[in-house]
Each structure stands twice: as structure tokens, then as C-alpha cells.
Structure 1
Amino acid sequence: MPRIALSDRTLKTLTPPTSGQTTYWDEGLGNFGVRISQGGAKSFVVVYGPNRTRKTLGRYPIISLKQAREKAKELLAEVTLGIDKQRSISWKQARERFLLDCERKNKRNTVAYYRKRLDTHFKFGQRNLSDISKQDVLQRIRRIKTSASEQHHAFVAARTIFNWAIREDLLASSPLNGVRGFKPAQARERVLNDNELLAVWTEATQAPYPYGAIVMVLILTGLRRNEAAQLEWTFINETAEAITIPAHITKNGRVHTIPLGKTLLQVISDLPRINRFLFPSAHEKGTVFNGWGKSKARLDSTLENVEPYTLHDLRRTFATTHAKIGTPVHVTEKLLNHVSGTISGVAAIYNRHTYLEEMKVAATAYEEYLKCLFDS
């Protein structure tokens, strides 16, 4: 390994390697150096402890040579004095503690959101939490090819666990400090036209259970897919002609009651009763359907003259169709369980009317519109 007298002047003259990375170690401070990549990026590093743990201190010139050297001295001193707290916990241990903490403070869907991204994209195992560098995290995010939206969600999950670790005194700083993040997907405006909606409905009626039935429920109710997937038989009240979804399932944490129209009732009545869920998982007893990707791809492969769409686009189509048939905006918002909108502020505090009867009228008109569409 090359050793040089690191200075601001030598940092500017270092030549990138033709491939991979090269580390130049400082003659003045042992175990401290600068790593330069093939692309020319320069990052300060320090090696410490009996296990020769390598830690990235920051990228030059965002962090200066003087700052990096002082930071390296502090770290080496802490190790010498035996107060290096960060070396005592692995990524796996931190992940477990983080998720347990989330379960005490957050909704089940939020915990599932973090668990999915951490387990799918950040498999650091027993690596020390403090040894995970910014490039370690960013490289894994850049490998995600499914969508820009998923890159954004992965970044949010990583940033959240590192910020949590700082609050828990498990890290001195986050490796993602100064990272702008990944641009979230732009809000979609996709609405299926009547012909496309008819095509999706027709194929859904022929698709295997439970996915086909879920798609029909989404078209009829405007529910979010995870809300529909977690429906239980006890939520259904045929006498009241309504389905009541508990707060712990809905996205906004509010109880949501929707009308049980004739078409919706027929779809539900045709479902097999396997367990407490309308749409249970075929693989794990006691859990709900989660085979979205393959099931949607299978159904979509049978569609003709339908532009690419997401299941959430069915919710937007639901709202747009209600506007088309004249449903008042505040009733549509009730059907969608939107908190903000036309009834907000003081009015929202004092207006406790459920609008269930108005919602039933709107649901009937909506199902009649669909019936005419599907029977044409």
C-alpha cells in the first residue's frame, strides 16, 4: 500500500487508478489515508482496532483534510481508551431493535414498510453498524431497477434507521448525511377510460382467486390494495349494508365505512370462506394475499388495448367516474376516506355526519353506471 505525506496539494495531484480503488496512507498519521476510485472520487478512511476495522470518514472536498485527520485522531483515541460504543452492535442487531421500536410507536403497515425495504435491499448481516459507509448504502439503492419510486422508498428506510441509531447513541453520525436522496416518483394522473375499465373487469372475473376478486373489489370500492387485501368477514354487516374497516388497517388511521352495494355483495358472496380473511395467502396460514406482482402480470398479459396501469390507478378511476356521474365531491371524499378536502378546519371538527346514506346513493349510481358499461 502506498504511503505519502498527505497535504491539500498532494490530494489535488493524485491520479485515479485505471480500475477499482487505491488507498494512499498518510505518513504522518498511521492508519489514516485517502481512497481514490477509478472515477476520481476521493474519500478519507481510517483503520482501527484489533480487527482492523475500516471506516469511511467522508468525501473530499466536502470534508477537508484537516477535518478528516482530526476525526481520525478522535476515533483512534476513543478506541485506545476503550469507549468505542459503535463497534458493539451489528447491522442485524440494530435492525431488530429498530423494528421493535417501530412496532411500539407506529402502525403495522409502517413497520411492514420499513421491514420490507431493509430486508430486501440492505442485507449487511453481522457487519458493524458504524462500518457501513455511504457508498455501501447508495450502491445497493442504485441496484434497484424496479422503479424510481422503490429507490426513493429504500433511501427513506435507510435514512430512518441511521437517524434512529444516532438518537439511540449507536452512531455518531449517519453515513447518509448530506445525501440529497432519490427523487420520488411524480404523482400519477393515469385514469382508465371506460373501454379499459371494462377490459380489466372482464379479465378479473376470469382470473384465479383471490387476485381476480380483489381487482373487482378495488374497482367497486376505490379501496387501496392493502386495505382490500386485509378485509375480514367480521367487517361485513349485510343488515346495515356496509363494510366497516378498522383504523389499524386504513392508511390515515381512521375507521372507514363503505356501502355494500348489490354488485359488491354478489362478488363477496361468491368468495370461498377459508379463514377470517376474504383474501388469505395461499402459502402462509393466518396471513393475507401478497402475490401482487406475478398475479398482475398474469392478468395484464391477457389484456388488449389497455395502456400500462397500476392498481392505484383504479382508485383514481373510481374517483373520476364518480365525478362524471355527478357524485358530490364531499361524498366522493367520504367514499375514499380522505381526511382533507372540501370539509376541513372547523367544519371538520364539528361536522360528525357520516354521510352513509349519501354514500349508499352514490354507490348505487356508480354500480348502475358500471352495469350499463359492462353489459354493453
Structure 2
Amino acid sequence: MPISIPGQFKRAAAFIDNLEQPTTRQEIPDSTQSGLYLVVQPSGALSWAVRTKIDGKAAKVTIGRYDKEGSKDDRMGTLISPTQALNVTQARAIAERVRNDAKRGNDPRQQKIDKTGLAAWFDDFVKTARTTGFKGRAVKASTAEEYERIIATNIKPHWTHVTDIRTLDYRDVEKLLDKLTPGARRNAFAVLSAFFRWKPVARAIGRNIIELATAPGKPISRDRVLTHDEIKIVWKAAEKCGYPFGPMTQLLLLTGQRRDEMAELKWSEISDDLSTITLEASRTKNSRPHIVPIAPLAKATIEALPRITDADGKPSEYVFTTTAKTPFSGFSNGKKALDKHCGEPALPEWHLHDLRRTCATELAQLGVKQEVTEAILNHKTGKVSGVAAIYNRYEYQDEKREALKQWASRIQALIADNVTLLKKHA
């Protein structure tokens, strides 16, 4: 007599968890639902199948993959898909419906839809990142949004032919990466690494296929710093570019902050007197709260910003937005417009992150101490390190304000005509 899955849920889950990986494909019958089987593959993949009769002929219907937690999709129970996640209780419920449909002459195999295919796996992955996360806590909102963007732009369009995640292997990953630019290739590989390590995916496929794929090479360290003439060109181009990308670019140059931290800036993060920007720990790359003093030129830039409202007239919480509901995210189109306004000849290849590097370099030329510059950038990995980094909790607020004030004055002089600047040495 074959061993069957226990009826009680906890015992059934424990039984499945303790299954040994077979050398050949096995079907283990369920003890409570007739016709329901757990299919165990030599790869370790587990799926649910129902054996019944359709039009008088024996048939097997794959209803989903095994997952201890199961699916939280509200449509579960109305869909039949080999990729949906089902725990023991859910599989039994669907199996009963499949057999009842077959008895009434309805072919349950015709009810399969594509909404729970590869796209649904990615949707669940992003949803998990936003809610429970993969290590006991949700990832940052900006990280989850980046996952979603990379999946939508660099992965899904190249895998439209994939109908079953279990058919993917490392060669599919490498073929996808070959179609992308170097930067997009590294981003896609990073997201796929997290995706294929995710337990439900690893369990469905039976292995982590990303481990066999060749990882993209590390990016070449950039050292692009804008010259004084280029700073003027970019600033003037930003003025022509207009809201939201133009003033956002100017504040990136004035403050030296990271692109996403500025793009997602909220009005509530700016003090009432426009003297500081306060970023919460959840919004920063190193997960530390960060206060950015606002220099006079930056204050004037902020004062000139419009307050965007939604269709109901409610002011948006975001400083830079085109929808009033979400922060600005059109970096590619914004950069193209900015480059167009830079005129001819175009600036040699440059990125928004170069503004941050330019700010740091100019601060050094102004004689600002390295630890103050690092405090401005919220990037304390240089001079203040080791024991000093542990015990030095001084935030350099006054020094940061004076440094950014000097830097804003230099920009103001640069964008004026017929001004020659002398370097200030420490």
C-alpha cells in the first residue's frame, strides 16, 4: 500500500517537508481527497496533480505547485494554473472542484489562464519585497520600485515566451543578459539573483539556476567630474528644461545628494523655514537619518517650485512629481531633454551621479575637510572609520552648512558671466 499524505494540515506539511529527494518521478496520493497527488521530481520540484476522467477518458490536470504557505491571491480557487502556489488545504479544495467539473462534463483544463504565469511570479516577488521581505523585513520602498522597474523594462520583454518557470535554466539567463547594455545587465543580474534565491522559486525549479550563469563584470570605476564650464552649461540647461527635472538637477548639484533620495523628496522633509532637508533612515542608502543644510541658492530654487495638486485639488506630498501621486521617475527622458538643452557640441558622456562627485571634488578645492564632505554626502566610509566611526557621533551641522553655502556661492559665480574663480586651498 503506497504511503499517502496525512489528512491533518500540520502533519501533512511536516510529511512533505521531510520527503527525501527521489531518483525517479513519484506521485504520492492524498489521504483525504480522492484523485489528488503530490508529484515529486528528482530535481526536488513539487507540484499538485488531479487524476480524473474527462469525457470518459483518463486525464491528469496539474493544478499548481506546492508551497507550504500557499497563495494569498484572492482569485485562488477560481484559477487552474501549474504555476500558482498551493498549500495542502488549497490543493484539496481545487482538486474537489476539478473532479466535480469533470463529472458535469466540463473540462477543467480549458479554464487555465496566463495570469498566473511568469509575470505573476515576478508580481508576487515584488509584492513580497514590499511586505514581508526576504530576510524578515520589507526592503526599502525605493529598492522594491527599482526591482519592479528592472523587471518591467529589462526582463519581462525578453521572456514573453516563457510559460512555465520550471523550464528556465542558466542559459536563458545568459541569453537575456547578452541583449542588455552593461549597466542594465548588472541590474538585471542582481534582481534575478534575488528572484531565483527566493524560496518559492527555488522550490519550484529545484535549484538556484543563477549560480550556473556567468555574472556580468564589475563596472569600471567612474571619475567624471564636470569642469566649471560644464557646470554652467548644465545649470543653464536645467533652467530651460523646467520642472520637475530641471530644478531637481540643480538641487542634486547644490547638495551632492543621491538621485533617488532627491527625486523622492517630500515637502514634509523640508523644514518650514527652508533651512534643512531631513531624510529618514528608511530613505537613505546606509539606513541612517541625514540632515542636509539648505544654502541660499538652494532655498531660492525650492521657493520657485510649483506645488502640484491631484484631480481633487489635494496638494501632492512629493516635491518632484508629474502625477501628484508618485515621485518623479522619468530619468531617461529627463536626461535626454537636459542633454538637448546643453546644446552643441554635447557634453562628453556624463551621468547624474557625476554631479555628486563634482560637488565632493569642488568642496575639497574649497578647503572643506574630508570628514565634513562625507557628512554632507552621508557617506562615512573614508577618513572617519574604525574606532573613530564608532565613537564619533558629531554630525558637523554647522560645518556642513558653511561648506554648502560656499559651494552655492561658487556655483552662483560660475553661472554668472565674465567671472574668474580662484581655487581656495586648505
TM-score per shorter chain, which class?
0.7 to 0.9
Inter-CA distance 159–78: structure 2 relative to 1 (3 Å threshold) = farther
Matched, 1:138 2:185: no
- Structure 1 residue 136: Cα displacement: 2.3
- Structure 1 residue 271: Cα displacement: 0.3
Instruction: Describe the superposition over 1:320-361 as per-residue Cα deviations: whole angstroms up to 9, x where unpaired.
Output: 000111110000001100132211222222222111001111
Question: Partners of 1:240 and 1:295 in 2: how far apart?
Answer: 26
Match of 1:114 among 136, 147, 162: 147
Match of 2:23 among 71, 74, 87: 74
Q: Which amino acid aligns with 1:365?
A: Q
- Equivalent residues of 1:148, 1:184 under 8 A apart: no
Query: What is the TM-score when the length of structure 1 is the normalising length?
Result: 0.74
Matched, 1:148 2:182: yes
Matched, 1:91 2:89: no
- Equivalent residues of 1:205, 1:212 under 8 A apart: yes
Once the two structures are overlaid, the 10-residue window that deviates more, 337-346 or 236-245, is 236-245
CA RMSD of aligned residues (A): 2.3
Partner SS for 1:122: helix
Question: Partners of 2:280 and 2:225 in 1: how far apart?
Answer: 28
| Correspondence 1:139-288 to 2 at 5 A | 139-144=175-180, 147-165=181-199, 169-239=203-273, 241-274=275-308, 275-280=316-321, 282=322, 284-288=323-327
Question: Partners of 1:111 and 1:295 in 2: how far apart?
Answer: 22
Inter-CA distance 198–77: structure 2 relative to 1 (3 Å threshold) = same
Inter-CA distance 176–75: structure 2 relative to 1 (3 Å threshold) = farther
- Structure 1 residue 211: Cα displacement: 0.7
Inter-CA distance 78–130: structure 2 relative to 1 (3 Å threshold) = farther
Instruction: Describe the superposition over 1:199-247 as per-residue Cα deviations: whole angstroms up to 9, x where unpaired.
Output: 1011111212111111111110111111111111111125482111112
Inter-CA distance 167–289: structure 2 relative to 1 (3 Å threshold) = closer
Once the two structures are overlaid, the 10-residue window that deviates more, 263-272 or 364-373, is 364-373
- Equivalent residues of 2:266, 2:317 under 8 A apart: yes
- Equivalent residues of 1:218, 1:315 under 8 A apart: yes
Cross-structure match for 1:374:
415
Instruction: Describe the superposition over 1:239-284 as per-residue Cα deviations: whole angstroms up to 9, x where unpaired.
Output: 482111112221111111111110000000000111221101x2x3
Matched, 1:316 2:352: no
How many percent of aligned residue pairs carry the same amino acid?
A: 30
- Structure 1 residue 86: Cα displacement: 4.4
- Equivalent residues of 1:243, 1:257 under 8 A apart: yes
Gaps of 5+ in 1: 1-72
Cross-structure match for 2:32:
none
Matched, 1:335 2:376: yes
Once the two structures are overlaid, the 10-residue window that deviates more, 327-336 or 151-160, is 151-160
Cross-structure match for 1:38:
none
Query: What is the TM-score when the length of structure 2 is the normalising length?
Result: 0.66
Q: Which amino acid aligns with 1:364?
A: K
